[in-house]
Chain A
Amino acid sequence: MASTTLLGRVHPPGGMEVNPTRSDSLPMETGSDALNDGTASSPGGSAPLRSKWVLTQAGFDKLLACLDADREAAGRTYLEIRTNLIRFFTWRGCAFPEDHADETINRVAKKVSEGEEIRNPSGYCMGVGRLVLLEVYKEQEKERLALGELTYSPVESNYGDEIEPRVECLKRCLQGQTPENRELILQYYEGEKGEKIENRKKLSEKLKTPLNTLRMRALRVRERLQVCVGDCVKTS
């Protein structure tokens, strides 16, 4: 499953297309510095960062090989790195975390293709990711200055009222969970502050599970439900 997916269209939104048929003929780069040749877009909503260098199948294979000798394990590492990069750019308030994550991987892949030896791919990716972030911030600042006195506001507080479809999807997704997980997720995230903490203690005693373990279980269920709801909203 992993290898098939990874070798197809990996990241359509970011424009990084792996084309195995053209890997040998595509130019690898146009600039002198592979880590700085991308053009970052502002998080405010202008065109996402697009690399002039295009990742080929051969380049992607080299990257996977760099991550792990076992291709399937390499695929999992690749997904983990990408997910973490997306988290990183999200936490740093970027408008297009996925695109920036792909741009980061693209630049790392370029380096690998050039023959650079990377001992800690995850750490290396984070380092490149920070450089991309700096470019993003720089572009964001340029755009802010260009807009003059207008204050940048990423989005209104009460953006969109799309809660109902998600509620229906969530209810549907909850039905796909076990009764225990359903009870767990609803009770664990119910209430506010003090009340929520008290609920969690009671739930921990009821399920005879340590609070930390309970927290991780709830988080896993939540993440699964979030993916399920995302898919549900897209399809409905």
Chain B
Amino acid sequence: MNVPIDEGLIVRYLLGDLSDHEQVEIEDRAFSDAQYLQSILAVEADLIDEYVRGGLYENERRQFENRFLASNEGRQKVQFAKALAKVAGESVVTETSRRPVVARATTSWWSSFIAALGNASPAVRLSMAAASLVLVIGAAFLTWQTIRLSGEVTQLQAEQKSDLNKQKALEKQFTDERALSQDLAARLENEQQQRQHTEELIRDLEHEREESANRPPQPTIFSFVLLPGLSRSGGALPKLVVPQSAGLVRLQLGLEQGDEYKSFAVELRTQAGKQIWTQDRLSAQSPRAGRLVVLSVPAKLLDAGKYEVALKGVLDGGKIEDVGYYYFEVQKK
């Protein structure tokens, strides 16, 4: 029967962590299979070593102690394992400079170190003392270096912060000045525009003045109101005194009630019957004084003498009717 050996199960057996049935199975096999028994003994030796070196968890440790420290036989094995661990560790320290084997002992590392130092040979003690001295000096030097570097770092950080503040101030100053410059530029541009506008106004005024200087004087207008019904042969004719400087003579022809036409047309003739001025498409105007037809005649056409104005009305169908005649006399002044 070649059943594989489960070392984990053996460990549990040795720690008393199995059921009665499982324990009996292991024991029966152990006492009938020499190889299995040897395996249990090997596992037991390793377990004891683990215990001695502090390699067991707390609960395992308790279980182990309940089993192995209960009897003198178990205690003998544990004592032997302690001695073996110590001798094996010493041999390693003597042969090489490797670290101590008992790293997880239950005692503190310092106690272990002192104990190991106490049991070491003089040469080893001397070496350890020298190493300790070097360590102490090295640690002091490193501490001093750390403090110094820490100070330098702090100073550099302060300088860096100061530079940063300066840079920020300069940036702010630059921003302010740029804003001021932009404001000034805007104001300058505004003033330039105002100046340009003023110059343009001046130019316009000068141009206007020049134009007004060159422009001919506006004709003087003289208005006269002529009433209908005045015959040519009748009494005194209305006299129009027209100054030599007059440009236009405005004649306002009075209409009677019923003179309703679409538009009006006039003919201006001399006493001799010569037509000197015509105008059509005239409309009747309605001032407060009564309805009127207004016509403007250039003054230069009117010499001194007597004149006749024939007023004609245009009906909707385009037919023209005589509305009335108006007479007047012009005197030049």
Instruction: Identify which of B23, B84, B106 contacts A157 (C-beta below 8 A).
Output: B106
User: Inside 8 A of A229's CB, which chain B residues have their CB?
Assistant: 80, 83
Q: Are A93 and B82 in contact (CB under 8 A)?
A: no
A146 within 8 A of B: no
C-alpha spacing A216/B38, complex, angstroms = 7
User: Inside 8 A of B65's CB, which chain A residues have their CB?
Assistant: 154-155, 157
Instruction: Identify which of A97, A123, A219 contacts B41 (C-beta below 8 A).
Output: A219
Closest chain B residue to A85, Cβ basis:
B31
Known: A94-B70, A95-B71. A88 touches B84 (CB 8 A): no
Q: Are A126 and B28 in contact (CB under 8 A)?
A: yes
A84 within 8 A of B: yes
Q: Which of B14, B32, B66, B84 has the most CB of A within 10 A?
A: B84
Which residues of B from 87 to 128 have beta carbons under 8 Å from A?
87-89, 91-92, 101, 103-104, 106
Known: A126-B28, A166-B80. A192 touches B103 (CB 8 A): yes
Known: A166-B79, A192-B104, A230-B76. A126 touches B71 (CB 8 A): no
Closest chain B residue to A171, Cβ basis:
B87
Min CB–CB distance A128 → chain B (angstroms):
13
Q: Which of A21-29, A53-61, A109-117, A183-191 contacts B (4 or more CB under 8 A)?
A: A183-191
Known: A123-B32, A157-B106. A95 touches B38 (CB 8 A): no
| Interface size of B as a range | 35 or more
Which residues of A from 106 to 133 have beta carbons under 8 Å from B?
122-123, 126, 130
User: Inside 8 A of A189's CB, which chain B residues have their CB?
Assistant: 45, 49, 84-85, 88
A7 within 8 A of B: no
Q: Which of A95, A187, A189 has the most CB of B within 10 A?
A: A189
Which residues of A from 53 to 108 have beta carbons under 8 Å from B?
84, 86-98
Min CB–CB distance B256 → chain A (angstroms):
142
Which residues of B from 39 to 74 have beta carbons under 8 Å from A?
41-42, 44-45, 49-50, 53, 55, 61, 65-74
User: Inside 8 A of B68's CB, which chain A residues have their CB?
Assistant: 90, 93
Q: How many residues of A contact B (CB 8 A)?
A: 52
Q: Are B70 and A43 in contact (CB under 8 A)?
A: yes
Q: Are B71 and A96 in contact (CB under 8 A)?
A: yes
Known: A155-B75, A192-B101. A163 touches B69 (CB 8 A): no
Q: Is the interface of A mostly helix, strand, loop or mixed?
A: helix
Instruction: Identify which of A159, A190, A192, A230 contacts B69 (C-beta below 8 A).
Output: A159
Instruction: Identify which of A93, A130, A166, A191 contacts B83 (C-beta below 8 A).
Output: A166
Min CB–CB distance A175 → chain B (angstroms):
11
Q: Are A163 and B87 in contact (CB under 8 A)?
A: no
B228 within 8 A of A: no
Per-position binary interface string of chain B over residues 167-209, scored 1 when its CB falls under 8 Å from any chain A CB and 0 otherwise: 0000000000000000000000000000000000000000000
Min CB–CB distance A136 → chain B (angstroms):
11
Instruction: Identify which of B32, B69, B73 contacts A154 (C-beta below 8 A).
Output: B69
Min CB–CB distance B3 → chain A (angstroms):
15
B86 within 8 A of A: yes
User: Inside 8 A of B41's CB, which chain A residues have their CB?
Assistant: 219, 223
Q: Are B31 and A126 in contact (CB under 8 A)?
A: yes
Instruction: Identify which of A90, A169, A174, A216 contacts B42 (C-beta below 8 A).
Output: A216
Q: Are B45 and A222 in contact (CB under 8 A)?
A: yes
Min CB–CB distance B199 → chain A (angstroms):
100
Q: Are A162 and B79 in contact (CB under 8 A)?
A: yes
A145 within 8 A of B: no
User: Inside 8 A of A88's CB, which chain B residues have their CB?
Assistant: 27, 31
Known: A90-B74, A97-B73. A126 touches B66 (CB 8 A): no
User: Inside 8 A of B86's CB, which chain A residues have their CB?
Assistant: 163, 167
Known: A84-B31, A154-B66. A159 touches B82 (CB 8 A): no
A18 within 8 A of B: no
Min CB–CB distance B38 → chain A (angstroms):
6
**20 A–B contacts, CB within 8 A, in A order:** A90-B67, A91-B44, A92-B23, A92-B67, A93-B66, A93-B67, A97-B71, A123-B32, A154-B69, A155-B65, A157-B69, A169-B83, A186-B91, A186-B92, A190-B91, A192-B53, A192-B55, A193-B50, A219-B45, A225-B80
Chain B residues with a Cβ under 8 A of chain A = 13-14, 16, 23-24, 27-28, 30-32, 37-38, 41-42, 44-45, 49-50, 53, 55, 61, 65-77, 79-80, 82-89, 91-92, 101, 103-104, 106
